[in-house]
Structure 1
Amino acid sequence: MKTKIYNYLTKPYIVVLTMLIAPVFGFIDRNFVFFFGLGIAFLILWGSNYEWSKFGMGQKINKKTCLKSVRITLAFFIGFSIVIDPILQHYLGNFDLSSVEDIRGNLAGYIAIMIVMWVFAAFGEEFLFRGYYMKGLAELLGNSNKSWLLSAIITSVYFGISHAYQGLVGVISVFLWSLCLSLIFNKNRNNLLLLVLIHGFSDTIGLTLIYLNKDSLISEWIQ
């Protein structure tokens, strides 16, 4: 049974089918879209006897990766928080942060959401969107440099739309952020953990600013 499931789910077209079917679960709950795709990815991982390298996790976390992730995170913070996001908000309005508003000044809520974020956003989303969707699409399209770039764009659009609950400004900002991250994965195809750290550190900064109720200071300073 395990072998049959694995052989079926690793057929080239299954990644596209998964991406098409997953949004249907959004009519029930937007989180189901994520967990459906993640479930398929983990079934493949299970069927491969936990061959993590199939999802781009061929390198362990080391000092070099950690330092690199910090540098990129800081660059992302400067590029998006100080340049890109203020421009987007000027024309499209503010982000809809209602899904995390309750952590403002709430230490217990802040700690809880940080744990959830590192498990399901930093690790889970990178494992699914980059490790499975992007890598799977790139291989389906021929596994060339062009196919990886096309896959990066497609996956980033998909990732951006999945954040529609943040409003149009959120969709566009997340698309651009995801595209940058996908291009980094394109250059580090065997080091998905680098992206996990960047994603986790970036979200940690954002959530901490919201918890401290300081998330508006950057845009106010620019204006």
Structure 2
Amino acid sequence: MNRDKIFKFLTSRIVVISIIIGIILLSYFNGTIGYFTGLLLALITFWASHFKWAEFGISLPDWSKAIGRAIVFAVVLFLVVDIILQPLIELVFGQVNLNDFTNVKGNLINTLVFIFLMWIAGAIGEEFMYRGFFMRRLAVALGDTDRSWLISAILISMMFGFAHLYQGMSGVISTVCTGFMFSMIFYKNRNNLILSMLTHGFYDMIGIALIYLGKERFFVDWIHSLF
């Protein structure tokens, strides 16, 4: 089996666009199937590339610098999306549905397990698939210019949000916003996907901590009380 031919096929413009459309449709009917199908295709492409990390924008960073930047990005992202944008979004589209996370509230063991799974499936898995595979491959397929990267960032962020339909329309829109910010981090650091992964993980940890403490609505409700 010729890996180079498989890689060339999977990264061709028509196939990349077809895969993205297919994953969007799958995610509409079943988000879990859409996620694992997309991740499988990303891993097959990684294998076909002879496990070249650079094809997914991955290189070893200065870890202390990357972690520090990621924490700052995560806090800024939380301030912008969760404290400023989400209250406004909910005024129009209703409350974000967080029912899938109720088993975390007040349960330390479940919270620790969920944090571990989040880092694997969310921070690493989603960033590898959405930014490292979909965003990068679409940007390259569209010409590998700054403009094509920006277009890809916007489209893949919408795709990322669509995969969170289980959170309701407010959840989808909020996730599009967070996804776009993850995408812009990768847009500015195209060979440092790990920075996006770390930012994603630290940002999600803030949300998980608030759910565990039963304070997931604290900031949104506080902002709403000001109106």
Scaled to the shorter chain, the TM-score interval is: over 0.9
**5+ residue gaps, structure 1:** none
Q: Does the 8 Å contact 1:73/1:202 carry over to 2? A: yes
Q: Does the 8 Å contact 2:13/2:142 carry over to 1? A: no
Q: Does the 8 Å contact 1:61/1:193 carry over to 2? A: no
Q: Does the 8 Å contact 2:31/2:164 carry over to 1? A: no
- Aligned letter for 2:159? Y
Instruction: Write the mapping of 1:8-87 to structure 2, written as runs, cut at 5 A.
Output: 8-26=9-27, 29-87=30-88
**5+ residue gaps, structure 2:** none
Partner of 1:182: 183
Partner of 1:145: 146
SS for the counterpart of 2:99 is coil
Closer, same or farther in 2 for the Cα pair 1:61/1:164, shift >3 Å? farther
- Aligned letter for 1:91? V
Q: Does the 8 Å contact 2:28/2:162 carry over to 1? A: no
SS for the counterpart of 1:50 is coil
Return the offset for 1:83: 0.8
SS for the counterpart of 1:13 is helix
Quote the Cα distance in structure 2 between the aligned partners of 1:24 and 1:198.
28
Q: Does the 8 Å contact 1:72/1:198 carry over to 2? A: yes
In angstroms, what is the RMSD of aligned CA positions? 1.6
Identity of aligned residues (%): 35
Instruction: Write the mapping of 1:48-127 to structure 2, written as runs, cut at 5 A.
Output: 48-127=49-128
TM-score (norm 1): 0.94
Quote the Cα distance in structure 1 between the aligned partners of 2:13 and 2:114.
35
Partner of 1:207: 208
Quote the Cα distance in structure 2 between the aligned partners of 1:176 and 1:7.
32
> How many corresponding residue pairs?
223
- Aligned letter for 1:30? G
1:163 matched to 2:130? no
Q: Does the 8 Å contact 2:57/2:193 carry over to 1? A: yes
